[in-house]
Structure 1
């Protein structure tokens, strides 16, 4: 990414309310966008468990500076709503999360209007979804992934026709290796990637050891391995679950604080989406070349 992108002035507007009947709690979003530019592509971002629209600023700001309009909803599992794992509402939050992303995309015109007239500057034919951790499973549903029931039968198709591509950061893998706690409390964590046909970049850390799985860090590459082409994988050897701190600077959940790693994740997703949305392939090609010529700290694979 060129330095001119990083010098781009951006603006953030929040909270904006999105129509979501029957949700119980108002659906609010934050919009981050460049101050100038036209035909801007859109990223709808789904946060990890307990976070909100106020997290992930290192990603959202960098994407906006590169020319994306970033829309971040606050899901019901946000810690500000106080819905814990033992709350009876928790079992269906995964569905509400997916509905949140649909509501954002379907209500995009209203969101852009509230955000200061961005509607005339956005290209509605170029919409991507991105998510981290639980948010990656949420975003994956709009790309075509499904959830298997206890008998291994795939559930509903939640894909959205307006979504052209996406990126999944630390996406949990298949449910055949869940710990007893995860199997009992998180039955929705049984993704089926075989129907995830939309183009997607999977970002995985080589030291991301989940307490929810009996497998190692390769669990987080399942979306790439099992998803049909076209798929790409950014594997970061020393990355842990927050990939250097994607949720924010010096947050408690970050175990591998590394601003350069966060910048790599942000820029790689930006480069991938610019290519996948047919805007510009130069940055993605450059990233491929840099990974191939690098020291093995990270690599890019495609299929």
Structure 2
């Protein structure tokens, strides 16, 4: 596919306020959807640290063009809320992030009602969660992953019954190799994937080196290797943490600018979700067929 967006007409509505107790700052979300079509599945997307509902447009627009309704909450760690690592609230934001996604899913009907003509076009039995970086850990919790405490005891189950599948992009690996920085500021970066049974696609970059881990890029494959089937793993050989610029075009954070890589990630997620949600399997089969011709640019594993 070309590295440009589809020509399908999209609609976007923001901000929509979602009631969440004990948050301090109102949760706001953005909804992006195709202007036409029925039986549309839903993606709830969790952004990476410091971003917001206004980021990741290169992914979101392609997902909407592929027939998804995409809902993006702005988590409390967004730059617009001015909460940094030393803020006393930061230590519990990981829980508030999960609560944000639960609030979106529990209030899905009210959110859709704010977008004229959309509620009757949505298939509420086909719901997925997707996240990038910290957002991948957040989304993983709704797929069944848990957070271990400092002595290895698993925390509570945050899975949500509405979630049928998910995709984790640059998901935090297991916590035994955290750097001093991560131990101080990110002690919750200790996921246990052994209970993450919901079908999911894990996407990892072959050149993604995290400041939170003493391990190399393989750290980002733990969500695949340490979780039960069914799972799929897409490894993008030359990708760094933003996979060519998934958070936005020409953003300064991106050090591996590559529009074609962004398209690969976006289309892999939509193809996987359309397959496992029983919408259409042709996109995923087509992606698998491209592996041999990619000259090692990406690979796919499954279990």
What TM-score does the superposition give when structure 1 sets the normalisation length? 0.98
Q: Residues 2 and 260 of structure 2 are in contact (CA less than 8 Å); yes or no, is this contact kept in structure 1?
A: no
Q: Which residue of 2 aligns with 1:88?
A: 88
2:47 is the alignment partner of 1:50: no
Q: Which residue of 1 aligns with 2:219?
A: 219
2:129 is the alignment partner of 1:147: no
Q: Residues 129 and 166 of structure 2 are in contact (CA less than 8 Å); yes or no, is this contact kept in structure 1?
A: yes
Distance 1:72 1:116 in 2: 18
Distance 1:289 1:50 in 2: 36
Distance 1:293 1:60 in 2: 27
Say which SS state the counterpart of residue 163 (structure 1) adopts.
Answer: coil
* Compared CA separation, residues 2 and 248, structure 1 to 2 (3 A): closer
Distance 2:237 2:116 in 1: 41
Say which SS state the counterpart of residue 31 (structure 1) adopts.
Answer: strand
Q: Which residue of 1 aligns with 2:300?
A: 300
Distance 1:263 1:2 in 2: 8
Distance 2:289 2:146 in 1: 33
2:62 is the alignment partner of 1:40: no
- Shift of residue 154, structure 1, vs aligned partner: 0.4
Distance 2:289 2:157 in 1: 36
Q: Which residue of 1 aligns with 2:114?
A: 114
Q: Which residue of 2 aligns with 1:256?
A: 256
- Shift of residue 22, structure 1, vs aligned partner: 1.5
RMSD: 1.2
Distance 1:77 1:115 in 2: 26
Query: What's the CA shift string for 1:224-246, capped at 9, x where partnerless?
Result: 01011000011000000000000
Distance 2:220 2:276 in 1: 22
- Shift of residue 205, structure 1, vs aligned partner: 0.4
Q: Which residue of 2 aligns with 1:131?
A: 131
Query: What's the CA shift string for 1:33-83, capped at 9, x where partnerless?
Result: 000011100000000000000000000000001100000000000000001
Question: Would you say how many aligned residue pairs link Structure 1 and Structure 2?
Answer: 302
What TM-score does the superposition give when structure 2 sets the normalisation length? 0.98
Q: Which residue of 1 aligns with 2:12?
A: 12
Q: Which residue of 1 aligns with 2:230?
A: 230
Q: Which residue of 1 aligns with 2:21?
A: 21
Say which SS state the counterpart of residue 102 (structure 1) adopts.
Answer: helix
Distance 2:226 2:115 in 1: 38
Stretch deviating more after TM superposition (176-185 or 140-149): 176-185
